[in-house]
Structure 1
Amino acid sequence: MSMEQKRVYEQVGVAMTSRSYAEYEKMFILQTENLIGKRVLDVAGGASSFTVEARQLGIFSEAVDPLYEKSAEEIAEHGLQEIELVAAKMEKLVDVYDWTYYGSVDNHKAGRVKSLKQFVNDFSSKDAASRYHAACLPSLPFAEESFDLVLISHFLFLYEDQFDYSFHRAAVKELLRVCKPGGEVRIYPLLNFRQAEYSKLSELINELTNEGYLVQKREASLPFLPNSHQYLCIIKNPSA
């Protein structure tokens, strides 16, 4: 039992991460050409560069995270500390992960640093408040039916031990509230930190299906975490 515990990534509290647009493409199978001109929301986005990179491509992306109450300097400092901490944890678990995409711990770390710098530069700009919103689930500061696509990575499901089913259900309902009819909510991965599928996933899928949403497990293409080959797609008013 103790040996198994050592092979699992240990996380206390909610981590702040710095992922790139390319990683989001693989996690959520994004088709950039289909998103140009669309309004996209990155929930619990942390210090990811997704929003700034997406906007450079012509996608109207915004991000929401309680982290955005901090200053750019505070986020930069916290982000670099988090990157070092993650790299140290990964060094002990190198054989657990699939390095097809990242190549090595050093490459993974370099990518995080690059994304963090891109984020901080954008977050420091005068108009940053128009696209970075300080708030947390299950209450988002947006009108109903605001976004064509709502994304959330490495928060819901992953922290199953810290957030109960009522929180997960309320959070997903809030993501759907701000999603436009015909739009989609995509959640990745479907795992908790024990690398097992979220224990209440079937219950959640059944509940959403009974309420008229089209819910599908779809294949992702970022083979890094064990068993992380799927994301959840929830289509709002699928006939819209």
Structure 2
Amino acid sequence: MKLTEIVPWGRTLAEYTAMFNLSEADLNLRILGCGDGPASFNAEMTELGKSVISIDPVYEFSAQQIEQRVRDTYESIISQVKQKADRYVWKSFRNADDLGQARLGAMKKFLSDYELGRADGRYLGQALPSLDFSDHQFELCLCSHLLFLYAEQLSREFHHAALLELLRVAAEVRVFPLIQLDCEPYPHLERVLETLSGNGYRAAIEPVSYEFQKGGNQMLKICR
């Protein structure tokens, strides 16, 4: 898949649970969702009485603007998925159209919660690598489909700075997936691991039950 910029593309609580190996205990932590975009994760978690704050630059925009942005990029993404269908694991979704409908469903759930969530401070328009949170404000940070995935758009230096910033505000950080848009492994992962180790953090690559992009079935788990 070729994208010239980062696009909003939402996922569900069930997907987050599988992508990040989330246990019931994990779901009860103070969670920061990084780059959540139009995901229904925050809305679903809030309905369950859980604590989640989501950050994304797209939250500077209105619900109507976000919906329009998703719809503007929808056909391009689905078309590319159809052209490269062999790069995906068709287990959770029957085909590209089924995937698209699932993404639009997640967005619809997000949009129904967005204005209330923004008023409550659950959706904040913030962007890495500098966040407006205090040290250790969160117990767990989940970063879905941003770092590593957009290797062409985000430099290795950005990745280093972003991860260290997330580790400043959260006791533990989990990142998924560890591959790029073209399903190739992120080429600078070893350098990232060295940087984390040099700053006193422990990082482990763990298998997860979720796999849509072929080879995208691992997450990076980091803590001090």
Same fold (TM over 0.5): yes
The residue matched to 2:178 in structure 1 has which SS? coil
For the pair 1:25 / 2:13, whether they are aligned, the reply is no
Q: Give the conservation status (yes or no) of the 8 Å contact 2:8–2:38.
A: yes
Q: Give the conservation status (yes or no) of the 8 Å contact 1:27–1:188.
A: yes
How far off its partner does 1:36 sit? 4.5
Q: Give the conservation status (yes or no) of the 8 Å contact 1:35–1:59.
A: no
The residue matched to 2:116 in structure 1 has which SS? coil
TM-score (norm 2): 0.94
- 1:74 matched residue in structure 2: 65
Q: Give the conservation status (yes or no) of the 8 Å contact 1:83–1:113.
A: no
Q: Write the letter of the residue equivalent to 1:70.
A: F
Q: Write the letter of the residue equivalent to 1:12.
A: T
Q: 1:178-222 deviations in whole A, cap 9, x for unaligned?
A: 01xxx3100011112232221111111122123221100000222
Of residues 192, 198, 210, the one that matches 1:222 is 210
How far off its partner does 1:126 sit? 6.9
Identity of aligned residues (%): 33
Distance 2:101 2:11 in 1: 11
Distance 2:120 2:76 in 1: 29
1:82-231 to 2 correspondence within 5 Å?
A: 82-125=73-116, 128-179=119-170, 183-231=171-219
Q: Write the letter of the residue equivalent to 2:67.
A: A
- 1:51 matched residue in structure 2: 42
How far off its partner does 1:124 sit? 2.1
Q: Write the letter of the residue equivalent to 2:149.
A: L
Deviates more, 1:162-171 or 1:205-214: 205-214
Distance 1:39 1:144 in 2: 13
**Unpaired runs of 5+ in structure 1?**
1-8
Distance 1:71 1:11 in 2: 23
* Root-mean-square deviation over aligned CA pairs: 1.5
Find runs of 4+ consecutive structure 1 residues off by over 6 angstroms. Answer: none
Q: 1:126-151 deviations in whole A, cap 9, x for unaligned?
A: 75351110011001111110111101
- 1:4 matched residue in structure 2: none
Q: Give the conservation status (yes or no) of the 8 Å contact 2:4–2:153.
A: no
Q: Write the letter of the residue equivalent to 1:64.
A: I
The residue matched to 1:187 in structure 2 has which SS? strand
Distance 2:96 2:210 in 1: 15
Deviates more, 1:119-128 or 1:34-43: 119-128
Q: Write the letter of the residue equivalent to 1:215.
A: A
The residue matched to 1:26 in structure 2 has which SS? helix
Deviates more, 1:158-167 or 1:111-120: 158-167
How far off its partner does 1:87 sit? 1.4
Distance 1:95 1:73 in 2: 34
TM-score (norm 1): 0.88
**Unpaired runs of 5+ in structure 2?**
none
Q: 1:121-176 deviations in whole A, cap 9, x for unaligned?
A: 11122753511100110011111101111011111111112222111100000100
Q: 1:42-66 deviations in whole A, cap 9, x for unaligned?
A: 1111111111111122220110001
Q: Give the conservation status (yes or no) of the 8 Å contact 2:36–2:54.
A: yes
